[in-house]
């Protein structure tokens, strides 16, 4: 077998195992470009050597053996975007990560609850807006041309947030990372993938919640937003909360807690303790990037986060789904 065929077999095998893993996590469809699918299916051989990984972990970490497996033709009509679940990308955590391999990265389309708006100022691309709420659209439009702090000078796109305009639960993080800055969407990097799986474990999808950040522009090198930068952006978030009227806000990480609640208590001490913001119940918990430190998800800390999310579900009157014996991996 030629080198190119071996590479193709490995790539298709990894994709097959990754899709199986997503299926086990509850994801039924993912966004895909029909042109890419049509181009790929025209050159895909009828059989390839591959043995799927039996582990629940993402398949890239496992070696593959060669056994013939038939690959069915993918019908593009059956592929529809369910939610903004990235296939690859970098984390929103502080440490910059290397650019993802082209074969693993997929640009995500906006969901049905958002629309694209052309950039209104040089170097400050406008983010997708929430189409079903004129108020949220107006906030996002003002954010797209905002220059009230220094972050507006270095951003690629603003990230006002996205999701349903009538959420029971609103997630608030720290700020956009590299992937978010490029796409104009909140939590689409590696930490965003983990957040997506956390939301799925709650029995929800990203389209059933609203996701935003304390600051709407990426701090250079993913540094922590400065107090004056958070203060400049907070009025936008305050307006969003007033319009969305969520039952619960989940604060993801210490910076979100400091920016929203002006509470300097360490997140590991404050997590799990109910707070209030504008009359809305607030649950502080760990940021997904905190769980990803050290090159892998912190399984011990995950159960603390799940305890917090369980309390959130009970607060909004939702049934807590039964959980597996391991965190989302």
Verify that 9 and 135 share a domain, yes or no. no
Residue 47: per-residue pLDDT? 41
Q: Is residue 245 part of a domain?
A: yes
3-state SS assignment for residue 116: coil
The predicted model scores a pTM of 0.63
Question: For 206-225, what is the mean pLDDT?
Answer: 97
Verify that 132 and 244 share a domain, yes or no. yes
Verify that 37 and 171 share a domain, yes or no. no
Q: Is 166 left (phi over 0), alpha (psi -120 to 50) or beta?
A: beta
Q: Is residue 103 part of a domain?
A: no
Q: Is residue 324 part of a domain?
A: no
Q: Is residue 87 part of a domain?
A: no
Q: Is residue 90 part of a domain?
A: no
Instruction: Give the integer Cα–Cα distance in Å for 211 and 102.
Output: 27
Verify that 174 and 299 share a domain, yes or no. yes
Q: Is residue 201 part of a domain?
A: yes
299: domain CATH number is: 3.40.470.10
Instruction: Give the integer Cα–Cα distance in Å for 160 and 184.
Output: 8
Using CB atoms within 10 Å of the CB of residue 109, give its burial: 0 to 12 exposed, 13 to 18 middle, 19+ buried.
Answer: middle
Q: What total of structural domains would you count in the chain?
A: 2
Verify that 273 and 177 share a domain, yes or no. yes
Q: Model confidence over 22-47: pLDDT tens digits?
A: 666 555 665 555 555 555 555 444 44
Instruction: Give the integer Cα–Cα distance in Å for 25 and 290.
Output: 21
Last residue of a domain, one of 54, 78, 102: 78
Instruction: Give the integer Cα–Cα distance in Å for 31 and 34.
Output: 9
Verify that 122 and 58 share a domain, yes or no. no
Q: Model confidence over 220-257: pLDDT tens digits?
A: 999 999 999 999 999 999 999 999 999 999 999 999 99
By residue range, what is the domain housing residue 9?
Answer: 3-78
Q: Model confidence over 154-200: pLDDT tens digits?
A: 999 999 999 999 999 999 999 999 999 999 999 999 999 999 999 99
Verify that 45 and 133 share a domain, yes or no. no
Verify that 234 and 288 share a domain, yes or no. yes
Any alpha helices (H) in the chain, and if so which ranges?
3-24, 34-41, 134-144, 178-183, 190-201, 227-244, 254-261, 267-270, 288-291, 299-315
Question: For 67-92, what is the mean pLDDT?
Answer: 38
Residue 175: per-residue pLDDT? 97
Verify that 49 and 139 share a domain, yes or no. no
């Amino acid at each position: 077998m030629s080198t190119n065929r071996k590479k193709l077999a490995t790539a298709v095998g990894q994709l097959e195992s990754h899709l199986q893993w997503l299926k086990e996590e509850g994801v039924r469809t993912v966004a895909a470009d029909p042109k890419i699918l049509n181009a790929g299916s025209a050159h895909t051989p009828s059989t390839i050597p591959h043995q799927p990984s039996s582990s629940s972990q993402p398949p890239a970490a496992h070696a593959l053996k060669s056994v013939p497996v038939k690959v069915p033709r993918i019908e593009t009509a059956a592929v529809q975007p369910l939610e903004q679940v990235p296939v690859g990308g970098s984390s929103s955590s502080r440490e910059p990560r290397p650019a993802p391999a082209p074969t693993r990265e997929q640009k995500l389309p906006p969901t049905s609850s958002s629309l694209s708006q052309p950039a209104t100022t040089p170097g400050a691309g406008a983010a997708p807006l929430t189409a079903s709420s004129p108020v949220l659209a107006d906030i996002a439009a003002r954010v797209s041309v905002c220059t009230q702090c220094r972050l507006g000078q270095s951003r690629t796109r603003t990230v006002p947030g996205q999701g349903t305009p009538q959420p029971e639960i609103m997630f608030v993080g720290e700020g956009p990372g590299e992937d978010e800055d490029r796409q104009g969407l909140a939590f689409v990097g590696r930490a965003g993938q983990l957040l997506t799986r956390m939301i799925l474990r709650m029995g929800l999808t990203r389209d059933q919640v609203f996701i935003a950040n304390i600051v709407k522009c990426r701090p250079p090198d993913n540094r922590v937003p400065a107090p004056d930068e958070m203060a400049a952006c907070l009025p936008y978030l305050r307006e969003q909360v007033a319009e969305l009227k969520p039952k619960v806000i989940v604060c993801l990480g210490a910076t979100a807690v400091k920016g929203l609640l002006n509470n300097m208590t360490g997140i590991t001490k404050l997590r799990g303790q109910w707070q209030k913001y504008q009359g809305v119940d607030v649950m502080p918990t760990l940021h997904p990037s905190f769980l990803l430190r050290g090159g892998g998800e912190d399984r011990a800390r995950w159960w603390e986060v799940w305890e917090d999310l369980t309390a959130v579900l009970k607060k909004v009157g939702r049934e807590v789904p039964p959980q597996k014996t391991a965190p989302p991996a």
